[in-house]
Structure 1
Amino acid sequence: MEFFLNSFFATAKLKIAIIFVGLIFILSITNLSAQTNSEKPKRIVSINLCTDQLLMALVETERIISVSHLARDSSISRFSDKAKNLHINYGMAEEIYLLKPDLVLAGEYSKKYVVAVIRELGLNIVTVPVANSLEAMRNNLLKLAAILGEEAKAKIIISKVDNLFSLKNTYSKKPVAIVWRTRGLIDGPGTLVHEMLQVHGFRNLAKNLGRGQLGNINLEQIIMTRPDLVIIPESKNGYPSLSQLVFKHPALTSLDRLNKPWLTIMRFPEWGLMCGGPQVLKAYELLASIRMNLLAKK
């Protein structure tokens, strides 16, 4: 009898010990999770337009202490309304230092000496590369979300990006299109704009002409090559430079007014043609609508 009692108590003690260890493990995991959440950066500064867009899409404004002054320009910033309630900066190292951020976001082409000085001052600065494809945009979102502690939000955006991949090569009719920027600049293969056109079943005139990532085309060439669609970045601030006056040239506007069946000219929000970020998803919706209207016209 005594043997069985000893065995019973020994077994009970072992079970209690196992439960106790289990509770300690659970508590340690909970504390680790709380610690991870507490380690989310709470004073974030962005000094680049593209990182502005990523930051404002992923993080609540309470954790953002400053974005670049370009973030308030509704022509090039999808989140300009959100930026109006945030402090702006002009990307100078001394002003960034005085803001006492725990994280600074810069772009690949942010001023190198500014990035170097910010780093020398001991601030935590992360440089985000340019996204020249949907895959690159996806990678940027994943990496930045991990730093910001916003993986869940990023996954929602990425699932929508992944849906866009499935649209590639599903169209039988592929009209020719060109995105024509100021000074005649055009986006060729190896750019996000090129992939945007491909995803929605367009052939990029820049590729047809043998241009690289960034090429140039004049008005005469556009008229002679007769693309189906010319997309012109739209500026809500009017035409602040002489280089944009070509978009008002009679040779172009007369074709637009005459509604020539071989040419459609569309003004497109410039923020949809810049920076690989969540705002591109809205640009894809607009491009899908343009394609539908274009084919209906044909």
Structure 2
Amino acid sequence: MSRPILLAAVLLAATPAVAGAAGPRAASATVCGDQYLLALADPGQIAALSPQAGDRWLSLLADEAAGHPRLRPAAESYVAAGVEVVLADAWSDHKTMALLERFGIRVVRIPLVESFGEVETTTRMVAEALGHPGRGEALNAATRARLAVLRAQAAGAGREALYLRPGGGSAAAGTFVDAVMQANGLANRATADGRRGWTGYDLEQFVMAPPDLLLTSFFDSPDRSLRRAFGAHPAFTARAAATPSVEVPGRTWICSGWILVEAAEALAQGLRRLPALHE
């Protein structure tokens, strides 16, 4: 199911209690909130998106964000816009969010979750706050169906992969990256190395013991900060060039929301392009 068709199906889904209702006027303070607001709200509900909503490096729904206002996350801006609900990350500016609640604005804090089951819980929470619980259930059902196909195909079966970001960051068991890998039947090299959760690798370790398969993200980002020193080092680029790899677009898992199914499908597509294991 393509993304436009998926979103259209979700927007058509509504429980009898909210059918025909626009829902509360809502805004998003973060890119993660943008993905939920654009997927679940009526267009007329959307008072504002985050300043990064149209950034194609960060937002999966950058095209869908076109035409919607953007606001800097500030209490006075949301109050002036008549916002009733604000979607924010759990770690967003707590002072601003507390001030909004004092003005009677509902703040929905989107948590960092690490499994698809937890993503479903978050989707239900956001959909209810936006007045469209039926759409939340429809989005969850569509996500489950897409994951079922990936798990049945198991494009990564028999392979072990190491996930790396430009700064050397990695992810082992207990992370949403690992959940996406598992959905495709991949074994996680970081977990096999005895690691758990969000972790990292140093350059020497990678060069001396490279993985059979490299899974990367954000290497094509326009960010050229010092945080990219690991990925820009000649020793890394030489070893990585000799290692089979799959790049998952960073915008598909910029946060642990429903968009993770897009990351899982992108990973599956990359895995299917690799030579078969027996070749």
TM-score range, shorter chain: 0.7 to 0.9
- 1:181 is aligned, of 165, 178, 184, to 165
1:110 is paired with a residue whose SS is coil
- Partner Cα distance (1:151, 1:295) in 2: 43
SS of the counterpart of 1:211?
Answer: coil
1:214 partnered with 2:214: no
Contact 2:22 2:44 in 1 (8 A): no
Residue 276 of structure 1 and its aligned partner are, at CA, apart by 2.5
Partners of 1:235 and 1:269 within 8 A in 2: no
In structure 2, give the amino acid aligned to 1:52: D
RMSD of aligned residue pairs (Cα, Å): 2.5
Q: TM-score, normalised by structure 1?
A: 0.78
Which residues in structure 2 correspond to 1:111-190 (within 5 Å)?
Answer: 111-163=93-145, 164=147, 168=151, 171=154, 173-190=157-174
Q: CA deviation at 1:245?
A: 4.1
Indicate the residue corresponding to 2:244 in structure 1: 264
Report SS of the residue matched to 1:234.
coil
More helix by share: 1
Unpaired runs of 5+ in structure 1? 1-32
Identity %: 25
Contact 1:188 1:211 in 2 (8 A): yes
Contact kept in structure 2, 1:41 and 1:103, CA below 8 Å: no
Secondary structure of residue in 1 paired with 2:274: helix
Q: Kindly state the Cα deviation for residue 74 of structure 1 after the two structures are TM-superposed.
A: 0.9
Matched, 1:194 2:153: no
2:262 to 282, 286, 289: 282
Taking a change above 3 Å as real, the CA distance of residues 238 and 105 of structure 1, as seen in their structure-2 partners, is closer
Q: Which residue of 1 aligns with 2:232?
A: 248
**Preserved contact between residue 34 and residue 53 of structure 2 (Cα < 8 Å):** yes
**How many angstroms apart in 1 are the aligned matches of 2:163 and 2:64?**
28
SS at the partner of 1:198? helix
SS state at 1:220 partner: helix
Q: What SS does the corresponding residue of 2:142 show, helix, strand or coil?
A: helix
Amino acid aligned to 1:264: P
Distance 1:243 1:87, change over 3 A: same
Alpha-carbon offset, residue 153 of structure 1 = 3.0
CA distance in 2, matches of 1:239, 1:47: 21
CA contact (8 A) 2:166 2:232 kept: no
Code of the aligned partner of 2:107: I
Q: TM-score, normalised by structure 2?
A: 0.83
Deviations 1:169-203 (A, max 9, x none): 98594311122123211122211111101111111
Name the CA distance, whole Å, in 2 between partners of 1:170 and 1:293.
14
Amino acid at match of 2:268: A
Quick one: distance in 1 between partners of 2:72 and 2:166?
24
**2:212 is the alignment partner of 1:228:** yes
Unaligned runs of 5+ in 2: 1-15
In structure 1, the residue corresponding to 2:35 is in which secondary structure?
helix
Larger Rg: 1
Aligned length, in residue pairs: 261
Tell me the distance in 2 between the aligned counterparts of 1:44 and 1:193. 29
Distance 1:40 1:130 in 2: 28
Measure the CA separation in 1 of the matches of 2:106 and 2:218: 36
1:92 paired to 2:63? no
Give 1:23's aligned residue: none
Q: Which amino acid aligns with 2:187?
A: R
Distance 1:275 1:69 in 2: 16
CA contact (8 A) 1:45 1:64 kept: yes
For the 8 Å contact 1:37–1:149, the answer to whether it is kept is no
